[in-house]
């Protein structure tokens, strides 16, 4: 069991721990030196004290016994380290006696072999002592071996990997890859393999030329060295630049060739190494030419679980390159992959699903995999308790569902509801992949109908509360798919989910804002949703996003669709209504939003406006055909007037009829507007027209800031232009006369008209161009846009 460094620091001597075998020495009476003593010594602390003996025999014997003691278990090593054996050994490794020096290094390498280095090992002087050994070109082979192994022991501590590198450790170790002694190579490659877990060391080994030396060592006849080398190359290949270096020195081809040799025990590591190198696209592209694809697919059928796992991993990476797909198929991998989707080993299922996901992006492989039962097995795996299995199977199902025919089959294959149920998962990646998969499923109308009926909208709205932007982004995008169905929009409106979508518009994540805007665009065909959204501040939130380059097009689209279905808000914001914006009952005009609009403002509804006490602000004009008798009378009057015009003109030819009738109708409407709003006004006396007093009096009488437009008895430009547009729309004049409403400053507003000869043919637009209808000074007169008269009408002179 690994022991932590904290435990190392505080570990007391255990009286009941194992002790070294008794050391019995005899006395040489002639020299009076110890050959041994006749007192047995079985205490570790006493043995350590004998390391200070000036007698080399005693010192060597103690080192030998302490080494054997340290080999018993990690507990014995810790005991010796707690007795400060390291201090004694660091002294002895500098001994002039070569045997003492060698035995001290041996004891040092064995004693420091712990899963986690002891605190006494974490000392820069100790590291420097080891590195100094590597600097000596004439040092004993055995000492270099033990020094390298001790460095490996120190490199088990992740923080000390970087310290060793900074102290020049990697640079000193690499040259020993060319050493003649196999034990030096073994220990050096082992030390390097541990150091390469540090990203800085992976860069360092490339810079000091270590990668070509490692590749050269692939030819070694020693299995232990080969295993270390393979581990080193695997770790090196985690870095982009190192993968290129490995490719340049033909490393992958040499590794592949090892798979054709007899050392089967290294096959798992060899295949893992190849899989890591396949992250390099050029290597991946050429894997078939190097003979790698054939052998990898062969190992897919291996009964050795480790070999099969790594072969499956390698193939999942090979499948990333579309160029390789036909080779994979030709090698007969499709049936194997389909079968492995039901393998009891989760790791194999994961990597197999990854390969299938890539292959299934092409219709040819989709069909073959589908016929081999891959889809059914993927669906079955959605019940797996391993979240990674579920995630990869969802990605694969998404790939299949890109095919319209296969997507339509997902409901019959019972894939939709199990996927929907995954929205209850607590795993974030499962949620993300499930949302993506459902988004694709729901492109099919039958799938979408079933998903919505089983709670897709409600579950997605719940997920929007998740604080992870990645989840919010895919969930709201999947929700947009539901908004294509009227039932989906009704459910969203019923559960008041629009508030959560609007809240996402304030996200700092661009994808979240973009997808939320798209969902609002899809939902905006439902009028109740639009009204609720405007009340909750959607206009203000979207306006903020229109200033973002990456999101503006989506925000503009959403805003346009919302305003299209909420004309009061559109007029408030844009100061204009086109001929396509047909005013209906319930419209109200509360003035221009102007530059004062802020994110804390929301567009008010009528109920809220009615609750505001009478104030000095501009009146709110209401179109209420049901209760506004004056407005109703105007419409009835004009309907009768239009009949008279039609009767008078019915005997004229079509061309004359089209022009005269329409102009007569325009003049009739203009006269009704003018009469209702206080009559014709002399331009020179416009300032004397006391409309404000009449409106204030009306507000007081109604005890409201809201005035039905038919109640306005004295109105100017903005009253008359709105009333004209209302009457034209209510009388269905748009097919022959396109009426647009504009508003500007100084209480000015006007209508531009465009007369058509044929309501069905756009090309039959008359050449008169746009004209402004005068509703103030000469009711019914048409002023060509751009003329002085028209300009004067639009703004005060």
Listed ranges 205-219, 248-262, 758-772; the one with the highest mean pLDDT: 205-219
The burial of 480, by beta-carbon neighbours within 10 Å (0-12 exposed, 13-18 middle, 19 or more buried), is given as buried
Tokens encoding 428: 């974030």
The angle, 0 to 180 degrees and rounded to 10, between the axes of the packed helices 74-82 and 85-92 is: 80
Tell me the pLDDT band of 596, cut-offs 50, 70 and 90.
Answer: very low
CATH fold of 455-565, please?
1.25.10
**105-136 per-position pLDDT tens digit:** 999 999 999 999 999 899 999 999 999 999 99
State how far the alpha carbon of 332 is from the alpha carbons of 295, 296, 310, in Å.
12, 12, 18
Tell me the pLDDT band of 767, cut-offs 50, 70 and 90.
Answer: low
pLDDT of residue 613: 94
Query: pLDDT > 90: what percent of the chain?
Result: 74
pLDDT of residue 171: 96
State how far the alpha carbon of 356 is from the alpha carbons of 305, 314, 327, 407, in Å.
20, 13, 14, 16
Sole residue written with tokens 């990898």: 296
Sole residue written with tokens 């080994």: 205
CB 534 within 8 A of CB 566: yes
Q: Tell me how far apart the terminal alpha carbons of the chain are, to the nearest angstrom.
A: 93
| DSSP one-letter code for 22 | P
Summarize the confidence of residues 41-57 as an average pLDDT: 82
Per the prediction, the chain carries an average pLDDT of 89
Residues of the chain with CATH 1.25.10.10: 455-565
pLDDT of residue 593: 80
> Looking at the DSSP assignment, which residues form a beta bridge with residue 756?
765
The burial of 182, by beta-carbon neighbours within 10 Å (0-12 exposed, 13-18 middle, 19 or more buried), is given as middle
pLDDT of residue 422: 97
**252-285 per-position pLDDT tens digit:** 999 999 998 867 899 999 999 999 999 999 999 9
pLDDT of residue 652: 61
Q: Is the confidence at residue 600, as pLDDT, over 90?
A: no
Q: Is the confidence at residue 599, as pLDDT, over 80?
A: no
| Sign of the dihedral through C-alpha 272, 276, 277, 279 | positive
Lowest-pLDDT range of 1-15, 96-110, 449-463, 558-572: 1-15
pTM of the model as a whole: 0.78
**165 contact partners, CB below 8 Å, separation of at least 6:** 195, 198, 200, 201, 204
Q: What is the spatial distance between Cα 86 and Cα 118, in angstroms, rounded to a whole number?
A: 10
Q: What is the spatial distance between Cα 383 and Cα 297, in angstroms, rounded to a whole number?
A: 28
Tell me the pLDDT band of 685, cut-offs 50, 70 and 90.
Answer: confident
Phi-psi region of 225 (alpha: psi -120 to 50; beta: other; left: phi over 0): alpha
**98 contact partners, CB below 8 Å, separation of at least 6:** 140
CB 442 within 8 A of CB 473: no
Q: Is the confidence at residue 580, as pLDDT, over 80?
A: yes
**158-198 per-position pLDDT tens digit:** 999 999 999 999 999 999 999 999 999 999 999 999 999 99
Q: Is the confidence at residue 377, as pLDDT, over 70?
A: yes
Strands 749-755 and 771-773: antiparallel
Summarize the confidence of residues 565-588 as an average pLDDT: 93
CB 266 within 8 A of CB 234: no
pLDDT of residue 75: 92
pLDDT of residue 654: 54
Summarize the confidence of residues 334-361 as an average pLDDT: 96
**289-341 per-position pLDDT tens digit:** 999 999 999 999 999 999 999 999 999 999 999 999 999 999 999 999 999 99
pLDDT of residue 16: 45
**13-34 per-position pLDDT tens digit:** 343 444 555 555 454 555 444 4
**606-665 per-position pLDDT tens digit:** 998 999 999 989 999 999 999 999 999 999 999 999 998 888 877 665 554 455 788 999
Q: Which of 275, 217, 210, 282 is nearest to 244 (CA)?
A: 282
pLDDT of residue 41: 46
Summarize the confidence of residues 432-443 as an average pLDDT: 97
pLDDT of residue 205: 97
Lowest-pLDDT range of 71-85, 138-152, 484-498, 761-775: 761-775
Output 732-739 pairs: Cβ under 8 A, ≥24 positions apart: 733/665, 733/669, 734/579, 734/580, 734/582, 735/759, 736/658, 736/662, 737/662, 737/665, 737/666, 738/579, 739/579
Neighbours of 217 (CB within 10 A): 20
| Sign of the dihedral through C-alpha 474, 476, 481, 487 | positive
């Amino acid at each position: 069991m690994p022991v932590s460094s904290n435990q190392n620091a505080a570990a007391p001597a255990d009286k009941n721990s194992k002790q070294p075998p008794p050391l019995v020495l005899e006395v040489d009476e002639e020299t009076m030196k110890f050959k041994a003593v006749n007192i047995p010594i079985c205490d570790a602390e006493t043995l350590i004290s004998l390391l200070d003996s000036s007698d080399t025999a005693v010192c060597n014997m103690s080192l030998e016994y302490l080494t054997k003691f340290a080999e018993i278990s990690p507990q014995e090593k810790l005991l010796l380290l707690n007795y400060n054996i390291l201090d004694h050994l660091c002294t002895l490794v500098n001994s002039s006696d070569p045997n003492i020096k060698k035995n001290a290094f041996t004891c040092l390498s064995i004693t420091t072999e712990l899963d986690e280095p002891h605190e006494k090992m974490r000392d820069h002087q100790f590291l420097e002592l080891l590195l100094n050994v590597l600097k000596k070109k004439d040092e004993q082979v055995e000492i270099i071996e033990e020094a390298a192994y001790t460095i490996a022991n120190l490199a088990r501590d992740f923080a000390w990997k970087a310290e060793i590198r900074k102290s020049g450790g990697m640079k000193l170790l690499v040259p020993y890859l060319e050493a003649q002694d196999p034990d030096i190579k073994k220990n050096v490659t082992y030390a390097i393999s541990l150091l390469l877990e540090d990203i800085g060391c992976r860069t360092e080994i490339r810079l000091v030329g270590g990668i070509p030396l490692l590749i050269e060592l692939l030819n070694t006849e020693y299995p232990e060295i080969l295993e270390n080398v393979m581990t080193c190359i695997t770790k090196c290949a985690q870095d982009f630049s190192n993968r290129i270096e490995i490719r340049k020195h033909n490393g992958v081809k040499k590794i592949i060739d090892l798979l054709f040799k007899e050392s089967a025990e290294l096959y798992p590591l060899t295949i893992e190494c190849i899989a890591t190198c396949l992250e390099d696209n050029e290597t991946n592209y050429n894997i078939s030419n190097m003979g790698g694809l054939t052998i990898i697919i062969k190992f897919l059928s291996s009964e050795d679980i480790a070999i099969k796992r790594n072969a499956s991993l390698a193939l999942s990476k090979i499948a990333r390159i579309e160029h390789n797909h036909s080779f994979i198929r030709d090698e007969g991998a499709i049936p194997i992959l389909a079968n492995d989707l039901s393998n009891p080993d989760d790791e194999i299922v994961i990597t197999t699903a990854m390969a299938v996901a890539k292959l299934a992006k092409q219709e040819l492989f989709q069909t073959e995999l589908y016929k081999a039962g891959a889809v059914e097995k993927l669906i079955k795996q959605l019940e797996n308790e391993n979240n990674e299995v579920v995630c990869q199977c969802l990605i694969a199902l998404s790939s299949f569902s890109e095919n319209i025919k296969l997507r339509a089959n997902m409901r019959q294959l019972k894939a939709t509801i199990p996927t929907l149920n995954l929205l209850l998962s607590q795993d974030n990646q499962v949620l993300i992949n499930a949302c993506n998969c459902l988004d694709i499923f729901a492109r099919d109308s039958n799938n979408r109908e079933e998903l919505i009926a089983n709670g897709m909208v409600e579950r997605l709205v719940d997920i929007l509360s998740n604080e992870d932007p990645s989840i919010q982004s895919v969930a709201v995008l999947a929700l947009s798919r539901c908004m294509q169905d009227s039932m989906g929009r009704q459910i969203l409106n019923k559960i008041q989910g629009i508030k959560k979508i609007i809240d996402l518009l304030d996200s700092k994540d661009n994808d979240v804002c973009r997808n939320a805007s798209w969902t609002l665009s899809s939902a905006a065909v439902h009028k109740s949703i639009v009204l609720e959204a405007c009340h909750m501040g959607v206009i203000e939130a979207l306006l903020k996003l229109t200033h973002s380059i990456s999101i503006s097009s989506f925000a503009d689209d959403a805003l346009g669709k919302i305003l299209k279905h909420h004309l009061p808000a559109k007029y408030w914001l844009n100061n204009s209504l086109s001929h396509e914006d047909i005013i209906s009952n319930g419209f109200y005009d509360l003035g221009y939003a102007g530059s004062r609009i802020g994110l804390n403002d929301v567009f008010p509804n009528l109920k809220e406006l009615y609750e505001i006490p009478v104030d000095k602000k501009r009146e709110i004009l209401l179109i209420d055909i049901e209760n506004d008798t004056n407005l109703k009378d105007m419409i009835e009057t004009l309907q009768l007037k239009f009949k008279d015009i039609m009767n008078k003109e019915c005997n004229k030819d079509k061309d004359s009829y089209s022009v005269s009738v329409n102009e007569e109708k325009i003049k009739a409407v203009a006269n009704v507007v003018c009469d209702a709003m206080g009559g014709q006004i002399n331009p020179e006396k416009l300032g004397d027209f006391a409309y404000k007093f009449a409106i204030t009096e009306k507000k007081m009488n109604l005890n409201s800031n809201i005035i039905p437009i038919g109640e306005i008895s004295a109105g100017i430009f903005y009253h008359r232009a709105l009333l004209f547009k209302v009457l034209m729309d209510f009388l269905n004049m748009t097919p022959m006369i396109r009426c647009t409403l504009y508003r500007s400053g100084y209480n000015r507003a006007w209508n531009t008209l465009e007369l058509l000869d044929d309501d069905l043919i756009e090309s039959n637009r008359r050449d008169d161009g746009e004209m402004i209808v005068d509703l103030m000074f000469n009711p019914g007169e048409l002023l060509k846009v751009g003329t002085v008269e028209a300009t004067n009408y639009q703004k005060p002179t």
